Amino acid sequence: MKEELKVRSKIFAVSIIKMTEFLQKKNATATVTNQIIRAATSVGANYRAALRGRSKAKFIAKLGIVVEEADEKLYWLEIIVDSELATKEMITPLWKEGNELTAIFVSMLKTAKLNRDNA
């Protein structure tokens, strides 16, 4: 599961980067592009850092960042659709995968906290 999530989060980040190349060019495009790329790439980077954590506390802290960034990338996908930088059809597959990854990381964080509290 760990390796699968490392791969999925990396593929997702690359997909976001590629998607941004097709966004309509408007005044806000550069800002939105930078924000979503930052959030999407941060998910995988922080997940990998969490796996290397030296303690349960470090793992939980890094996983908390993963969850925050995962949720943020969903926010930016909403902004892209709502501001008509891309069509909903273009964003839907990214939304689906982003939402699945977010749910997985939220579940992992809850489990890690529960295990910590029951130790």
Residues 65-97 have pLDDT tens digits of: 999 999 999 999 999 999 999 999 999 999 999
pTM of the model: 0.91
Residue 54: predicted pLDDT = 87
In the chain, which residues have pLDDT < 70?
119
d(C-alpha 85, C-alpha 35), whole Å:
14
Residue 62: predicted pLDDT = 96
- Which of these, 116, 16, 22, lies nearest to 75 by C-alpha position? 16
Task: Catalogue all structural domains in the chain, each as residue range(s) with its CATH number.
Answer: 2-117 (1.20.1440.60)
